[in-house]
Structure 1
């Protein structure tokens, strides 16, 4: 394998959370007087840190979201996670293979540390991501599409950016990985391939990722 570190996005890549969170986000924004469909939410906010939602709404409407917006939204999301969240199909097999082969990996997510922990605990993925393998946009000043989070994760894992590959399913995440000088594999299970411009490779089935990583060295 040509890479010294595999960096996973979380939502939509490790846990199948995007349908849940975007459904709830669209509903909550609509409640607050900002009509938003599920498709709108996927297009505008998928892969975003929370601050970007505030920024986009303010820019478009001139209105600020309520101060408790993040807390209310997260409470709704976490409750839904407990009922509905599942790991992305095939991702446990991928993690087992990376661990067996001694390939370093971590997660770098736009979500908060609490959101990552809740999702991993609910799906049983927490055993694959002990302390030191979990990085959040909370750890850096700017979330995706800025490269800061991926650069921070690589630094903490002791790997130079050029030896990292990022697994992403959002346009913002792909942009961030490219800006960080890392290769990026675009996961197209939920995202049209044409939206992941800049990805080195595209794949729609998580079970194909290991073969892609192996073939990258050939």
Structure 2
């Protein structure tokens, strides 16, 4: 990781708050079963084009095209939302990626400004940050969402807005992402982009590299701020 010059921006879901494995992805796999597809995570990553990074509408369309057509894309999308909402309701405190609090604490002690750059709705982003106990690191004014920009990921708008709010040049921004669309957004903004995937597999690593990730780590304990 390059020595931090100015600021950091984090995609929220995946690198920071771990809603992917047991939340979004589990719901998508249940939707796949509803249209006659029995897939493991690895198979879903390989066979469903938008499985990593979404958006959900695109994943629903993928499942419709691959499945038995018993549900249309809208019905698949609605089922996914229902399943995810049920899972989310049962979480007293939202799970976070291992090591993220230690990493953020070190960044804060170094005096480096931080922001969130997420394509989700603002209300959800605020709720997730609060329920994960991350407010001390990410005040609401430093949470940029898809509602704050004209074009969402993979366009650069979200990370350009992160840089603006942090008061840094985009070229001095370091972005942490877990999806190809997010990596493309960071690179398009001119930032240095680091992959922090939920699944550290060769297939995922290749997707992130192909999207332009300049470094890829398996977890927060692997990232050295001093380098």
Instruction: Give the TM-score band, short-chain normalised.
Output: 0.7 to 0.9
Q: Deviations over 1:106-144 (max 9, x none)?
A: 111122223323332332123321111111123223332
2:134 to 125, 133, 136: 125
Name the CA shift for 1:4/1:140 in 2 (closer, same or farther; >3 Å). Answer: same
Q: Which residue of 2 aligns with 1:76?
A: 86
Q: Which residue of 2 aligns with 1:162?
A: 171
Answer yes or no: is the 8 Å Cα contact 1:4–1:164 preserved in 2: yes
Name the CA shift for 1:16/1:182 in 2 (closer, same or farther; >3 Å). Answer: same
Offset of residue 67 of structure 1: 10
Offset of residue 30 of structure 1: 4.2
* Runs of at least 5 residues in structure 1 that lack an aligned partner in the other structure: none
> TM-score, with normalisation over the residues of structure 1?
0.80
Q: What is the alpha-carbon distance in structure 1 between the residues aligned to residue 36 and residue 139 of structure 2?
A: 39
> Is 1:27 aligned to residue 36 of structure 2?
no
Q: How does 1:55-204 map to 2 (within 5 A)?
A: 56=62, 63-66=72-75, 69=78, 72=82, 75-80=85-90, 82=91, 85-192=94-201, 193-197=205-209, 198-204=212-218
Offset of residue 88 of structure 1: 0.8
SS at match of 1:45: coil
Equivalent pairs, count: 211
Q: What is the alpha-carbon distance in structure 2 between the residues aligned to residue 125 and residue 138 of structure 1?
A: 21
Offset of residue 196 of structure 1: 1.3
Answer yes or no: is the 8 Å Cα contact 1:185–1:201 preserved in 2: yes
Q: Which residue of 2 aligns with 1:46?
A: 52
Name the CA shift for 1:141/1:34 in 2 (closer, same or farther; >3 Å). Answer: farther
Answer yes or no: is the 8 Å Cα contact 1:15–1:87 preserved in 2: yes
Q: Deviations over 1:26-49 (max 9, x none)?
A: 323543x47473536555232234
Name the CA shift for 1:71/1:187 in 2 (closer, same or farther; >3 Å). Answer: closer
Q: Deviations over 1:78-124 (max 9, x none)?
A: 224x1574211111011111111110111111222233233323321
RMSD after superposition = 2.9
Q: Which residue of 2 aligns with 1:5?
A: 7
* Runs of at least 5 residues in structure 2 that lack an aligned partner in the other structure: none
Offset of residue 73 of structure 1: 5.1
Answer yes or no: is the 8 Å Cα contact 2:126–2:140 preserved in 1: no
Q: What is the alpha-carbon distance in structure 2 between the residues aligned to residue 140 and residue 30 of structure 1?
A: 35
